[in-house]
Structure formats: structure tokens, C-alpha cells
A = this chain, B = another copy of it.
């Protein structure tokens, strides 16, 4: 190892294109049109593939928006999304939005895999698998798949068709109030279905949020997995040192 011990990264050509575009973006307003892929290919003396790689990353980071048949535009700034509360409905309200939900699917099935483990289901016990498109002011925000025990919440699906807030139903119909939750956050590429529902492209970077919520006595209530568009949202958590 040399004395300096400095790693010298070599810059791929597409990254030069990306930096060029980033400068351009910063000189423009949201909504402004950027040059077409073929124009950039010509002016930057590269291939369209390379240009598209740079554009693709900028789209994934929420700096650009591509519209097939139309062009590529400077994107609006990202939205922040607070994580502090446990319910989507409360989160949306805290952010000044009206929360909504469109039921995509609801089924009863035998508990399997991670969901069954997290819900502490007995072998062979049934669970709900409820898939909903979460809306804020009627704009699709997330695809949410909830898992709950059938035995603990009989008739849940029927109740859910009337209210868009699962937590409100849990409290009103079953007297269950989740007090603590463990949230996991990771990055994933968008599957075709989630991409279509959220109006983005397959493979687009997503923030995947898992929520495992518990009652006061430690009984697990639900296990949810939510897909958010990574180009649209920045999650915010407020932390305090305990003790």
C-alpha cells in the first residue's frame, strides 16, 4: 500500500454525462425541458445507451422525469414523509394530506413464510393478506401489503371496505391499539406491478418500508410491507436519546 493510501476512483463516461446534466438541471426550473436523448448523444459524442444510463440515475434520484413520446423534464423537488406515527392515515394528516386507500386484493390464506413467523401464527393457522394502494389527496403514494391473524380479527375484510384506516378499524371493532412498532427500511427495484400502480417504470429505485407492530403486552398485531417511490420521497424520523 502506498503512503497516501488514497483510493483513486476512475470515472465512467456516463458519470461525466451525469455531472454535465446535473449542472444543466441546476440552471433550470422544475418542469423545464432538457435536450432529447439523441441530441445529448450527438453533442456529448457518446452513445444513446450511455446517455440513458446517466438520465436513468437522475430520474431515480428524482431530478428528472421522463415522458415517453414527449421528452425529459426537470422534476419537482422530493417530498418528505415523516415516519414517527404508526398509521398511514395519521402520517398523511400530519403532512397535511387526506389519506385514502383503494383495496387491491384481500384474501384469507394459510400462514406461510416471514409473515406467519412475525405474527406468531400456529402451524396451519390462517392469516389475511390485504393489498391496498395508499393515496394522499388521491395521488398514489404506496403499495401496502398487510398481514394479520384471521383468528384474532374475524370479519376484518368486510369492516375494511367501509373505512380506509386499518388502525381505526382495529381499535373500533376489536379494541386493539398498536403501541410500538419496528420499522425496517431498505432499497429495492420496482417490480412491474408496483411500478404500474405507482406510475413509474419497472426497476425504478424504491424505498421499501416494513412495519411490525405490537400491542402493549408485546403481542404482534400486523406485519406490513409498503413500497414507496424512491424518486419522490425522503423519509424523516425524529430521534431522541433515551435515558
Is chain A's binding surface mostly helix, strand, loop or mixed?
mixed
Establish whether residues A78 and B241, one from each chain, have CB atoms under 8 Å apart when the complex forms.
no
- Least CB distance from A49 to B in Å reads 8
A80 interface residue (CB < 8 Å to B)? yes
Of A179, A187, A188, A191, most B-chain CB atoms within 10 Å: A187
A239: chain B residues within 8 A (beta carbon): 83-86, 180-183
Chain A contact residue count (CB 8 A cutoff): 52
> What is the total number of copies of this protein in its complex?
2
A95 interface residue (CB < 8 Å to B)? no
Interface string of A73-85 (1 = CB under 8 A from B): 0000010100111
- Report the Cα distance A15→B204, complex, angstroms: 12
A233: chain B residues within 8 A (beta carbon): 186
- Report the Cα distance A94→B241, complex, angstroms: 14
Closest to A198 in B: B7
Establish whether residues B193 and A9, one from each chain, have CB atoms under 8 Å apart when the complex forms.
yes
- Report the Cα distance A191→B84, complex, angstroms: 30
Residues of A within 8 A of B (CB): 7-12, 14-15, 53, 57, 60-61, 78, 80, 83-86, 178-189, 191-193, 195-197, 202-203, 205-207, 230, 233-242
- For the complex with contacts A9-B192, A83-B237, 4 further pairs of A-B residues with Cβ separation under 8 Å are A84-B242, A184-B236, A186-B233, A187-B187
